[in-house]
């Protein structure tokens, strides 16, 4: 991501028409509602993930691209706008990547401990987002991908999950 995108994300700049059209084309009303609940930072991230998938999926067979794009756009829906400020977001990202056990240990559901609550949101956002998606009637396959997008690899290869995880890691 370029510095302009990062700065625009931190300043709360809205999505441009092209991004809005991509979201509107790929999500139904419930999906758009869920997408709108994320911060602009998360919305931009999920758009990068979805566009990466569109590029990479052209080289793979047997992938349900429409469903995977929907899951990509909603995979971070469990991070609701306003719950994590930009500074904590940076710290949480570092801790998640470098010290994942500390995140698990320090995460607290109590909002009075704002940094520890940010760790909690990061920890539970896959299951929380999946619950929200299921509650809004999204397809079980989308709900499953949202829930498992941070899971470690299992013995069974699932091309949609593998591509979503790769795109999330790289974007």
Q: Which residue has the tokens 């429409």?
A: 66
Say if pTM beats, i.e. exceeds, 0.75.
Answer: yes
Q: What percent of the chain has pLDDT over 90?
A: 74
Q: Residue 70: enclosing H or E segment and its boundaries?
A: helix 65-74
DSSP 15: P
Residue-level length of the chain: 171
> How far apart, in whole angstroms, are the C-alpha atoms of residue 53 and residue 37?
22
User: What is the residue range of 60's domain?
Assistant: 3-170
pLDDT in tens, 96-142: 989 989 998 999 998 888 999 999 999 999 999 999 999 999 999 99
- Residue among 154, 100, 144 nearest 122 (CA): 100
Phi, psi (deg, nearest 5) at residue 80? -80, 140
The number of distinct structural domains making up the chain is: 1
> How far apart, in whole angstroms, are the C-alpha atoms of residue 159 and residue 163?
6
pLDDT in tens, 155-164: 888 999 999 9
CATH at 133: 1.10.3210
């Amino acid at each position: 991501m370029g510095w302009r995108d990062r700065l625009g994300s931190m300043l709360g700049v809205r999505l441009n028409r092209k991004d809005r059209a991509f979201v509107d084309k790929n999500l139904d009303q419930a999906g758009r509602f869920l997408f709108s609940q994320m911060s602009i930072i998360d919305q931009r991230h999920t758009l990068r993930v979805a566009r990466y998938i569109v590029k990479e999926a052209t080289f793979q067979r047997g992938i349900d691209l429409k469903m995977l794009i929907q899951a990509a756009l909603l995979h971070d829906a469990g991070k609701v706008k306003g719950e994590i400020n930009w500074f904590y977001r940076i710290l949480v990202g570092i801790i998640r990547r470098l010290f994942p056990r500390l995140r698990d240990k320090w995460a607290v559901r109590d909002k009075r401990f704002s940094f520890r609550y940010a760790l909690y949101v990061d920890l539970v956002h896959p299951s929380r987002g999946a619950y929200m998606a299921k509650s809004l009637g999204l397809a079980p396959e989308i709900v499953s991908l949202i829930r498992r997008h941070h899971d470690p690899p299992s013995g069974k290869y699932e091309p949609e999950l593998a591509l979503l995880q790769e795109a999330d890691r790289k974007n």
